[in-house]
Structure 1
Amino acid sequence: MTKVDVMQLEVGMELLEDVYDDHGVVLIGAHSLLNDVHIQYLKRKQIESVSIRSADTQTDFEGTSTQTVTYNRLNNPSDVDEKYQRTVHKFKGIYNEFKLGRVPVYEEIQDTLEPMYEAILNDESFTRKMWQIHAYDDYTFDHSVRVSMISGLLAKWCKLEVKGIKDAALAGLLHDIGKCNIPDNILNKPSPLNFEEFKVIKTHATLGYILIKDIPNINYDVMLGVLQHHERVDGTGYPNGITGNQMSYIAKIVSVADVYCAMTADRVYKPAMHPFEVASFILEKCYSSLDFSMSKTFLSNISHFYIGHRVRLNNGQEGEVIMTYKDDPARPLIKVGESFFDLRRHIELEIENMLDL
């Protein structure tokens, strides 16, 4: 971590910590990549210095940090794409092994996730770029890797130890593995499922648990994450209709990640929802079916990744996300031309679409 005088800030530097005003209000969230508007805003607020992530500042496997003096920038997009594509490709091989009735060894599965573990623990810039990666393969493989990544991140944001972070990422990767035993005509149907087809799909959580439970060395928490990722804290989920106090911690993590990834993905029969629209949905569901604390932690952290992106409002105007708010991450501050619109106060305005995802 490096403290940098606000007068010396440069576009592209990454905040390591939230920046607060004198009243304790977050001005700009941690992990934001600074742009000109941010820097001028900090100057107007008379902030003297901020914590900037250094290029080699990494959280190691004991959770400690080291300090260096050069600044962290976004990875080369092609490097990020290549790493992500390689992980999806490896997972496709594991999925097909399960489909053919051959259970992969634990070490092979862990090897698939090694680049993800490194990125989750040490590389915020990879994480930030991941949201802009488009699918390379069919939905099942791409979705599983995204859920893995977000599950690991959420575990990190929940302050789990490295083992818990890895368990969450592994459960996320394998959460839909039971779908390899679902008939392809149902799994790949280009329209919404009917009642009977949905009953078949709902068996995938149990099928996945059965597939992985005999893998030597696999953690029981990972198994429960796979089995329970469609359970809901109010008892409305499946396969067993259990409630929050019966769900494993890892399952609560994977369930939030799964909902987010599913709703922000394009499907043949349903276009993707934009992230702030999904944030509104999760905010609503955290009072009923999704774990409250887990959902709030997820949204307060994930929203920072969309600062700097361009959006279209429902009045037709286009602008840039300048900052997000922990009390309402679904309604950020938008800059349109020289005007600023706090969507928490302008309730007539909604984000209609994100233009650069």
Structure 2
Amino acid sequence: MRLVPIQYAKAGSFLAKTIYDDKGAVLLREGVKLTENYIKRVKQLGIFSMYINDEYSDKEVEDLIKPELRQKAIKTIKDTFYSFDKFNLNSGKSSAQDKKLIAEKQNYFKSIGDVVNELMGELLGRRTVLINIVDIKSTDSYTYQHSVNVAVLSLVIGIQLQLDKKKLYDLCLGALIHDIGKALIPDSILQKNDKLTEEEIKIVREHTKRGYDFLKGSIDISAVSRIIALQHHEREDGKGYPDKRSNDEINQLAKIVAVADVYDALTSDRPYRKAMSPNDAVEYIMANGQTQFSYEVVKAFSRSIVPYPEGTIVRLSNEEIAVVEEVYPNFTLRPKVKIINKKNEKGEDLYRDLRCELGLVIKGPEYEVVE
């Protein structure tokens, strides 16, 4: 199984993971044989990558969370965003209406709390938790999918940092709703294909304070979770927003969400740019430790991330093309790989363990294998 950009998906290969639409309905089910029409239809729906099984890679890529839980989480976040929009449109109309909307708002946040408990149950029950979350995303439901991914990424980093369960709960909850302020940002700006104007950038940056203000007074949302919504774009060097906080002025949990937020954003296709490779995204985050991000959080992130999960086809620094066979905790950038279209002197499959062959590194993913 490997994740490929849609332009590299070929008719005759098999879909390795079910693709859902923005409502959680199945578009294409796992195991279907791809045709040109299927591939074209998926692309038209704003989905720019898919998992496939082919002759080069049929290894299973295990989800960090069950697909059913992922879809439940996405729907819960989407419904909550909708309630935010409705609350702001109708707030103040009458006392009775306000009470009804507030009660509805609390019900949505209770549902998010239930999702948090399920996510924590799945991840805390694992012996080893490594991040492999480059996933199939559609442009229509990107914000909701992104929120769930950021929550899972944040949880994994929090576990690596050995946070207690109360902090992990607040972290996951805050991560799920960190972008709730974007519910009031016009789609014409959020999905704009061209570079944003200065005025549009200013509007987008308002989402942190708008989200924080909306969350105030919600009994199911802790003060720390609300602060995550406010501070997740602050930077260690004081050049972030909305308040230009720096270092210890920024909440620790917001620092975790900042790293998770940027990693998932960089590895996602957006209307204005293609996704960055996981390796490049990891290098970007590591290069910006102590300036944009907390160095402590970046270290925990780098110990957990799997830029190239098993089944990924990669190009090595000696120009060999290989498929990742095994990933090792704490050495995630140096997996064991099997060289494609090349045998050893005995005519057997040729393997390289990059933990031992220190002169070799992975240059990046390879999507098209030339015979």
Normalising to structure 2: TM-score of the pair? 0.67
- 1:231 maps onto 2:234 in alignment: yes
Structure 1 residues 261-272: aligned runs within 5 Å: 261-272=264-275
Q: Deviations over 1:184-208 (max 9, x none)?
A: 2212223332222111101111111
Q: Which residue of 2 aligns with 1:92?
A: 78
Give 1:265 deviation, angstroms.
Answer: 0.8
The answer to whether the 8 A contact 1:313-1:352 is kept is no
Give 1:309 deviation, angstroms.
Answer: 3.1
Relative to structure 1, the CA distance from residue 163 to residue 304 in structure 2 (aligned partners, 3 Å threshold; closer, same or farther) is farther
What amino acid is the match of 1:135?
K
Q: Deviations over 1:30-78 (max 9, x none)?
A: xxxxxxxxxxxxxxxxxxxxxxxxxxxxxxxxxxxxxxxxxxxx8987x
Q: Which residue of 1 aligns with 2:200?
A: 197
CA RMSD of aligned residues (A): 3.2
The answer to whether the 8 A contact 1:80-1:130 is kept is no
Give the SS at the match of 2:158: helix
Q: Distance in 2 between matches of 1:231 and 1:304?
A: 25
Q: Deviations over 1:151-198 (max 9, x none)?
A: 112111110111111111111111100001112221222333222211
Q: Distance in 1 between matches of 2:362 and 2:306?
A: 18
Q: Which residue of 2 aligns with 1:5?
A: none
Of residues 284, 289, 293, the one that matches 1:286 is 289
Q: Distance in 2 between matches of 1:234 and 1:331?
A: 31
The answer to whether the 8 A contact 2:61-2:310 is kept is no
Q: Which residue of 2 aligns with 1:69?
A: none
Q: Which residue of 1 aligns with 2:56?
A: none
Give 1:226 deviation, angstroms.
Answer: 1.0
Q: Which residue of 2 aligns with 1:134?
A: 136
- 1:146 maps onto 2:149 in alignment: yes
The answer to whether the 8 A contact 2:317-2:360 is kept is no
The answer to whether the 8 A contact 2:255-2:297 is kept is yes
The answer to whether the 8 A contact 1:99-1:181 is kept is yes
Q: Distance in 1 between matches of 2:366 and 2:245?
A: 36
Q: Distance in 2 between matches of 1:182 and 1:244?
A: 29
Q: Which residue of 1 aligns with 2:95?
A: none
302-311 or 102-111, larger mean C-alpha shift: 302-311
Normalising to structure 1: TM-score of the pair? 0.69
Structure 1 residues 12-23: aligned runs within 5 Å: none
Q: Deviations over 1:71-112 (max 9, x none)?
A: xxx8987x9322211211121111100111145214232123
Q: Distance in 2 between matches of 1:160 and 1:231?
A: 21
Query: Higher relative contact order by CA 8 Å / sep ≥ 6: 1 or 2?
Result: 2
Structure 1 residues 337-356: aligned runs within 5 Å: 337=342, 338=350, 340=352, 342=354, 345-346=358-359, 350-353=363-366
Of residues 56, 59, 80, the one that matches 2:66 is 80
What amino acid is the match of 2:364?
I
Q: Distance in 2 between matches of 1:154 and 1:278?
A: 16
Q: Which residue of 1 aligns with 2:166?
A: 163
Query: Mind listing any 5+ residue stretches in structure 2 that lack a counterpart?
Result: 1-59, 88-100, 343-349
Query: Mind listing any 5+ residue stretches in structure 1 that lack a counterpart?
Result: 1-73
What amino acid is the match of 2:67?
D
Q: Which residue of 1 aligns with 2:23?
A: none
Relative to structure 1, the CA distance from residue 132 to residue 234 in structure 2 (aligned partners, 3 Å threshold; closer, same or farther) is closer
Q: Distance in 1 between matches of 2:270 and 2:245?
A: 29
Give 1:138 deviation, angstroms.
Answer: 1.5
